[in-house]
Amino acid sequence: MPKSSLHALTWSEEQQCYELRTQGELEQYFGSENNQPWQDWLVDQTSFAFQGRLGHMSVVKEARARGNGYWYAYSTLQGQTHKRYLGQTSGATLERLEQVAQTFANEHRSVSQTSQQTTQALPDSPGIVHQSHVPLIATKHTHPQLPSMLVRRERLLQEVNEVLTHRLLLLSSSAGSGKTTLLSTWASRSPHTIGWLSLDEADNDPTRFWASVITTLRICLPEISDTSLAMLYTPQPPPLSTILITFINEILRSSGEIILILDDYHVIEDQAIHEAMLFLLDHLPANMHLVIASRVDPPFPLARWRMRGQMSEIREPEVRFTPVEAQAFLNEGMTLSLSETEVQVLEKRTEGWIAGLQLAALSLRSHKKPSTFIEHFTGEHRFILDYVQEEILQHQAPSVQQFLLQVAVLSRMNAALCQELTGEPASQELLEMLERHNLFIVPLDEQRQWYRLHTLFREVLLARLQATQPEQVNALHQRAARWHAAQGSIHEAMFHALAAQDYPFAATMLVQGARQLWTQGETRTVATWLLRLPDNILREHLGFALTSALNLLSSTQYMPEQQRALALAQSGQIITRVEQILPNERDASLTPTETTKIENRICLLREFVPMSEAFRVGNMQQLRLIAQRIQHLMLGESVAWKWFVLHKFVVSSQVLGDSSFFLEELIELKQQALQEQDYVTAIAVICWLAAAFLYAGQLHSLHQECLQAQDLLGQLGQHVSVAVYPAFDLSFLYYAWNKLEQAEASLQVALQHASRWQDMNLLIWGHATYVKIALASDKIADAEEALEQAQSLVESTGFTNYAHDVAAAQVALWLTQGNFIAAENWAAQYDFDPQTLSVLYIEEYIALINVHLAQEKYVQGLHILVPLLSNMEQCKRTWEVIHLLALQASALYGLGEMEQAQQVVVRLLNLTEPEGYIRVYLDAGKPMRHLLQNLLKNPPRPELSPTCISYISTLLTAFAQEEQKHTQKATNLQIEKHTPQAPEGLYEPLSPQEQRVLSLLVAGQTYAEIAQKLVVSPNTIKTQVSSIYRKLDVSRRAEAIAAARRLHLL
């Protein structure tokens, strides 16, 4: 990843040129007419800020798997990030930068005008940030406004500055000690980029917590995309570590330092959040620092970090007011006139505790004899309740007292919400008056729309409300629940509904909002709320409860073990409660049909654990047996329950090789999913259906399914884990149609998605697949690079599911390079057993056949082909059958069995013509071309339809075009050959070590294998190979092998 950049390019009207500043220091000038100096500087950079004549933006260079990367411009408005493509370095001219900056400026003006019109048309609405359909309260992401009686505490502000030289600053002290005010003061003065997040109890859900963290940083860093947020809000999100890696990498790409402040971290109790925070802190980017404010120490290895000098701390003794600060607060901030002795007494009695001092100051305002009050005042926490009641509330007007008691049930409030609870039309005026009188109310935004009560003050008010007006508590929570529900804030609405014990309303909201929450990956949140419903409410929603358990179990695929155990326990609790309720309902509200459905669902859910275990150990036969045992239970069910069972059949079929047997079931299930508008399940089914069509050889149907999946993904507006597969399947489709550029483009999309999601299996498979596309496009160097990446991933990750495809790609590269010795050695060691054929090894089998054909060992090739072809035909794997028939025709041609070879080709034509296959013929080479030409020369066979005859002509045209491409390449090489060259031989000889590396390169070994053999690191080998290429004046392995043979270096 590129290091964070502190470069800024700014247009100077005075100088009439661009000024480049690095870390604020002027470094260079660039004229607008001459782009070359700018291009020379840009080539080595990764990011910079741009302030042009017409607009401003951030510019970032995004790396690519091949090539030098591409430049993109980013700009943000109202929390929305916009992106524009600039191109490679040569395209990022100063003129182009100005054009894009102007485009952004025009868009921003349009959005601002629309926003103003909308604001004028609508009443005041709460501050809500919408991310992937998930509303988050905007005021959580801004630091509270500073109080009017602010005391300057320069000594503490300097201590907060220590975070800039440490990973972590921990501010740990008791409630009311001024943590939030201190950090708000520092944040308001700091020149650095700061993200602020105020936490509350609702953030104990991992999904919500990390969505809040990511949103916070996206607000202040427009360069950060929504990728990690989209990954978080999916029905089956990847491991949290994967999401955090994506997030961390984006932080690394951002410009400048970022400080993230997490206020009130003590409310977080979820162990999964603590573990993920540890992961973040252990991998914290160099340009990021973290501040945690908490009443208690978080469960982190603080002693270890302290010993390593990785954290700084501010604790209770440091945050207490000194006598000087207490004097400034009481006499200047609270406008009292206390003597130095009186201040010292209060400071001593409160031990510098800020909340105690503020309470004392509020009471002193109404006491005629301050000295008498001070003499009897105690600032200990246990007296606060009585103190607030006797000394603060009783001095307020009755209407103000009642207002404070009623709004105490709210963690955050605005005028509209307060009016809903209290009926007070002047709620905004009351909130502003409370702030002016320093009555423990904190404004959360500059517009003074959103507020919160000081935590201690709120706790006291809640206790008084419960003691004096207990009948009001539930009613107030009910009103708050309905107000938040009307705003679409389901988390806040559910909190208040459950607090009010308004279980019917809570159940209604939960049923209505569950699908969206499941889609966003909040399955545990739904289950937690569900389990809080009493039996008399739950019995009305037994089907929904079991569906909730189903979604929870389905989301456990990528969960860490501890989270998975919690999810399994929660689902078990739901199932048990339904089982306990069910006997009482058989003779009551449930019909026999409904009872049977619920019993069937319980049986299905009980089989989840054994099915997961069978999948984990790779026992596909056992997985298939369990699915067959419960298959009858899904009859008449909704699509989610049917997919629960059918998915197991489809997954096992990937290994057992009979996926095409389930085409009809998949088609039927897709239609049902679309009818039920269950688009998440529909997309998953379509992706598996596309794969089934691919294996069935039905390219047109595959194409339709991929396009439909992409259309649904666009409608859904979300990223899901299976979204990668349409693009991946399309790469196979386009390759088969010989549309190599489209095949490569689709595969690149799939690889980028797999990289973001850290899907290692797909990354390995994708790179191995790219080798074939690159070889067909004569991009040998790209094929070498892709193969190296695939091999490196297999070695570094231990993921071996597609190691067979990687081995086959290596063999294909050897054969293309003419390295027949390496290919023959591999084939000689390969143990082929026709009795234990597996579709997982199909690419290796085909590679083995290709080696035999290259060696002209046609009989040996047919010995593999015959049983393999028979096996694939039994499994209805038409895709493999087609490719094996092409190889069989080539083998028979090599043996001189022309009639049999032509019969095979005729069968192949009838299979492939309806679907438009082309590449399978081109890959078979000259033997196939001769066979096709002979079919046209001889009288047409009766098996060949006029359409097939026309198809042969199309194929021969493709051969001619392929030949023309190779002829042109050969001509170019011939021209190079006759171009005057330097004298034969090396100007700089290879070292003995380089000669050893070269011989192993020629033998076809990977960098990792060479490193292991020579007992050095892979990076050392890469350096030595680069040196070899430089000395040989080549740029890829194939050229190095040719040069080594020509110069007799081996």
Radius of gyration, alpha carbons of the chain = 35
pLDDT band at 510; cut points 50, 70, 90? very high
> Residue 44 carries which DSSP code?
T
Contacts of 525 (CB under 8 A, 6+ apart): 205, 207, 208, 491, 517
Tell me: the pLDDT tens digits for 310-320?
A: 899 988 788 88
- pLDDT tens digits, 267-277: 898 888 898 89
pLDDT at 904: 95
pLDDT band at 148 (very low <50, low <70, confident <90, very high): low
On whether the CB atoms of residues 50 and 9 are closer than 8 A, the answer is yes
**Residues with Cβ within 8 Å of residue 44, at least 6 apart in sequence:** none
Highest mean pLDDT among 237-251, 382-396, 623-637, 909-923: 909-923
User: Which run of H or of E encompasses 157?
Assistant: helix 154-160
pLDDT band (50, 70, 90) for residue 657 = low
Query: Please, what is the Cα angle at 541 between 540 and 547, to 5 degrees?
Result: 165
263 alpha carbon, distance to own chain's centre = 25
Domain boundaries, the chain: 7-121, 131-319, 321-395, 719-816, 819-968, 992-1046
What's the average model confidence in pLDDT over 188-196?
87
- Output the average pLDDT for the chain: 82
Paired strand residues for 58: 49, 74
Closest by alpha carbon to 840, among 883, 807, 797, 874?
807
Q: What is the CB-side half-sphere exposure of residue 838 using CA atoms within 13 A?
A: 11
> Greater confidence, 481 or 996?
481
What are the Cα distances from residue 534, in Å, to 394, 517, 807?
40, 21, 58
Q: Would you say domain 819-968 falls under CATH 1.25.40.10?
A: yes
660 pLDDT tier (thresholds 50, 70, 90): low
- Does residue 721 surpass a pLDDT of 70? no
Q: Is the pLDDT of residue 424 over 50?
A: yes
Helices and strands: H and E segment counts in the chain: 50, 16
SS3 content of the chain, % helix, strand, coil (to 5): 65, 10, 25
The owner of tokens 């529900």 is 485
- Is the predicted pLDDT of residue 120 greater than 60, yes or no? no
CA proximity to 525, closest of 501, 493, 502: 493
- For residues 220 and 168, the model is more confident at 168
Q: Is residue 805 within 8 Å of 763, Cβ to Cβ?
A: no
Q: What is the pLDDT of residue 344?
A: 83
Identical fold at 719-816 and 819-968? yes
Give the lowest-confidence range in 148-162, 405-419, 564-578, 817-831: 148-162
pLDDT beyond 60 at 5: no
The residue among 321, 314, 356 whose CA lies nearest residue 175 is 356
H helix or E strand, kind and range, residue 168: strand 168-172
Residue among 878, 783, 889, 892 at smallest CA distance from 839: 878
Asked if 450 contacts 437 with a C-beta cutoff of 8 angstroms, the reply is no
Q: In the prediction, which pLDDT does 131 show?
A: 42
Do residues 131 and 229 touch, judged by C-beta distance below 8 A?
Answer: yes
In angstroms, rounded to a whole number, what is the distance separating the alpha carbons of residues 608 and 126?
Answer: 43
Q: Is the pLDDT of residue 987 over 70?
A: no
Task: Say what the alpha-carbon torsion angle 53, 111, 226, 22 is, to the nearest 10 degrees.
Answer: 20
Structure token pair of residue 71: 């430049």
* Range among 101-105, 497-501, 515-519, 1016-1020 with highest mean pLDDT value: 497-501
CATH 1.10.443 for domain 719-816: no
Q: Which of 114-123, 851-860, 896-905, 964-973 is least confident?
A: 114-123
Q: Which helix (H) or strand (E) holds 933?
A: helix 926-937
Q: Provide DSSP, 781-822.
A: HHHHHHHHHHHHHHHHH---TTHHHHHHHHHHHHHHHT-HHH
Cα separation, 167 vs 162, in Å, equals: 10
Torsion of CA 376, 378, 382, 383, to 10 degrees: 40
Structure token pair of residue 190 = 């700091």
Asked whether the beta carbons of 574 and 530 are under 8 A apart, the reply is yes
980: pLDDT strictly greater than 50: no
CATH architecture of 992-1046: Orthogonal Bundle (1.10)
Tokens of 945: 């339809």
**According to the model, what pLDDT value does residue 127 have?**
41
Say if residue 817's pLDDT is above 60.
yes
- Look at residue 960 in the predicted model and tell me its pLDDT: 92
Q: What angle do CA 869, 873, 879 make, to 5 degrees?
A: 85
Q: Which residues face 668 on adjacent strands?
A: none
Q: State mean pLDDT over 790-810.
A: 86
Q: What is the pLDDT of residues 438-475, one digit of tens each?
A: 677 878 877 778 888 877 678 778 888 988 899 999 99
Angle at CA of residue 786, ends 785 and 788, nearest 5°: 65
CA angle 425, 426, 427 (to 5 degrees): 95
Degrees to nearest 5, angle at CA 903 with 898 and 907: 145
pLDDT of residue 90: 78
pLDDT given for residue 915 in this prediction: 95
**CA separation for the pair 846, 854 (Å, rounded):** 12
Q: What is residue 544's predicted lDDT score, i.e. its pLDDT?
A: 93
How far apart, in whole angstroms, are the C-alpha atoms of residue 947 and residue 912? Answer: 12
Query: What number is the average pLDDT over the span 542-546?
Result: 93
CA atoms within 13 A on the CB side of 771: 27
Asked if residue 935 lies in contact with residue 952, where contact means CB atoms within 8 angstroms, the answer is yes
- What is the residue whose two structure tokens read 């252990």? 282
Secondary structure (DSSP) of 547-590: HHHHHHHHGGGG--HHHHHHHHHHHHHHHHHHHHHHHHHTTTT-
662-675 pLDDT, tens digit per residue, is 788 889 999 999 99
Position 124 scores a pLDDT of 35
Fold of 131-319: Rossmann fold (3.40.50)
